[in-house]
Structure 1
Amino acid sequence: MDILSIAGLVIALGSILLGQLLEGGHIASIVQPTAFLIVIGGTTGAAMLQYPLPVFLRSLKMLPWVVRPPAMDPRAAISMILQWSDAARRNGLLSLESLVDDVADPFTHKGLQMLVDGTDPMKIRSTLEQEIGAIEHHDGQAAKVLESAGGYAPTVGILGAVLGLIHVMENLADPSKLGEGIAVAFVATIYGVGSANLFFLPVANKMKGIVHERAKLQELVVEGIVAIAEGENPRIIESRLQSFFAH
């Protein structure tokens, strides 16, 4: 679990709410269901309009990555590849066939299967790199759904403010309804700017970072599998793979 994401969200929201209280305001004054509906509903609809259904659904599936990112352990991957390298060097590539079904990750499973099948190293590299590019593009587009929402939210918030002011103008003769309209106007702006800068944009950037790191890990796997196919020494393979994550 990514504790930093949870802590960041808590600190951001907590600081704003605490500041509101310290200024003598009330939290209830910034809780406006109407403004929330206008901003979040309008922003979600605009994002749905921009992207095709598979991309939008993929973005929803990736959303939990912010607090629970997919498992990515470069050291474990390097250790696994070195074990394959040792086994292949001693007993040949066919000795890895019994390990194929134990690999849960579809990408790594495909690469190992191609290795066992005796596929040409250049063919393995080109096939897997093409798949990396396709996965990175698809998941990158899904991350951009949240990024687009971060662009729409402030504008929709302004739209909500205008609607609130229209409501105020329509009820100038009834002072009892002026407060509600003005509240919706200002709170809608807060929701628009706040959701964009405290949620949509940070989450989008977090997701893009995870997509990039996973692609980098997959490149490591490709390099290791190709090196095994070319019969390189395990020590050379280890040195090459460790350079991917020198930090």
Structure 2
Amino acid sequence: MKRNILPAIGLVVGVGLIISAMASNGELSRFFDGPSLIITLFGSFSALLISFPLNTLKKVPALLKMLMFTPDDDRQALIETITHLAKKSRTEGILAIENEIKELDNSVLVYGLEMVVDGTDIDTIDEILNVELEQTEDRHSIGQQVFLKWGEYAPAFGMIGTLIGLIAMLGDLQDPSLIGTGMATALLTTFYGSFLANMVFLPIAKNLEIQTANELKTNEMIIEGVLALQRGDNPRIIEQKLQSFLSQSDQKKKEAKTAVSVTEEFAG
């Protein structure tokens, strides 16, 4: 796992800009109202309690941890590992890689290679690993849905709070001097709802979506490598096939690294 400080930086910068804009328009205390915040935050959370099972909501702290710690998704290292194992199995036999499998830390790769060593047929391996891929996607999509829904509910409850404030204000118009203050207080819930949705909940959902897409792409690459190894494909062909899963920047780094290695070899 690698620490990811960008979400924290983005949140601090975003909140800082909003507070700066608020401070330039008067006292900050004018922008705080306890009941408005309670209606927006806890009201939207109450809607989540209705929308999702409790077991799903219990996973929210773990999802927030994923936001700050991203998986070490080094596809190039995985390609090198799979290629190495393919070469060894081709020269020494498939059982020769059994001990090395135990040292790997990628659960999908370990699971697939164990089935290869056990002699499981390729169709069964393909089916089992793809089911595992679908289960991973389902687990991650639940987290995305929680924050997407929270991002939808927060502005809605902000509007509800505004309507409550306006009804209370319009119900008592005996003192016209209080209309401005009442209107400002009523609009605070709309502000809180928009802020929480667009600064917190929706960005978290997008971050989790991107992490899921990256993990699924990596797992697809691993499955392709495991199946190629089971078929007994040439290690060089396996490596070239898996290279297609790398991003353009990673491919350029690979090419640069290869060029440096060739230069050093000739120089030596």
TM over 0.5: yes
Q: 2:20 aligns with which of 13, 18, 24?
A: 18
Distance (whole Å) between structure 1 residues aligned to residue 32 and residue 148 of structure 2:
25
Distance (whole Å) between structure 1 residues aligned to residue 30 and residue 37 of structure 2:
13
Overall identity of the aligned pairs, in %: 32
1:81·1:224 contact (CA, 8 Å) conserved in 2?
yes
**How does 1:34-53 map onto structure 2 within 5 Å?**
34-53=35-54
Structure 2 counterpart of 1:109, one-letter code: V
Q: Which residue of 2 aligns with 1:121?
A: 122
Q: Which residue of 1 aligns with 2:256?
A: none
**How does 1:70-149 map onto structure 2 within 5 Å?**
70-149=71-150
Offset, 1:170 = 5.9
Q: Which residue of 2 aligns with 1:9?
A: 11
Unaligned 5+ segments in structure 2 are: 249-268
Offset, 1:181 = 5.3
Residue 219 in 1 paired to residue 212 in 2? no
1:155·1:192 contact (CA, 8 Å) conserved in 2?
yes
Distance (whole Å) between structure 2 residues aligned to residue 62 and residue 192 of structure 1:
21
1:150·1:201 contact (CA, 8 Å) conserved in 2?
yes
Q: Which residue of 2 aligns with 1:246?
A: 247
Q: CA, structure 1 residues 29+70, in 2 after alignment: closer, same or farther (shift >3 Å)? A: farther
Structure 1 counterpart of 2:117, one-letter code: V
- Residue by residue, what CA displacement relative to the aligned partner does 1:11-67 show, whole Å, maximum 9, x if unpaired? 221211111222x32222222232221111111111221122333333442222222
Greater shift in the superposed pair: 31-40 or 202-211: 31-40
Q: Which residue of 1 aligns with 2:202?
A: 201
Offset, 1:194 = 1.0
TM-score using structure 1 length: 0.89
Q: Which residue of 2 aligns with 1:161?
A: 162
Aligned residues: 246
TM-score using structure 2 length: 0.83
Q: Which residue of 1 aligns with 2:66?
A: 65
Q: CA, structure 1 residues 150+224, in 2 after alignment: closer, same or farther (shift >3 Å)? A: same
Distance (whole Å) between structure 2 residues aligned to residue 183 and residue 55 of structure 1:
37
2:155·2:197 contact (CA, 8 Å) conserved in 1?
yes
Does the residue aligned with 2:70 lie in a helix, a strand or coil?
Answer: coil
2:22·2:31 contact (CA, 8 Å) conserved in 1?
no
Distance (whole Å) between structure 2 residues aligned to residue 85 and residue 210 of structure 1:
28
Distance (whole Å) between structure 2 residues aligned to residue 115 and residue 48 of structure 1:
44
Q: CA, structure 1 residues 102+33, in 2 after alignment: closer, same or farther (shift >3 Å)? A: farther
How big is the alpha-carbon RMSD for the aligned residues of Structure 1 and Structure 2? Answer: 2.3
Distance (whole Å) between structure 1 residues aligned to residue 40 and residue 113 of structure 2:
48
Whose Rg is larger?
Answer: 2
Structure 1 counterpart of 2:132, one-letter code: E
Unaligned 5+ segments in structure 1 are: none
Structure 2 counterpart of 1:8, one-letter code: G
Greater shift in the superposed pair: 26-35 or 215-224: 26-35
Distance (whole Å) between structure 2 residues aligned to residue 114 and residue 174 of structure 1:
79
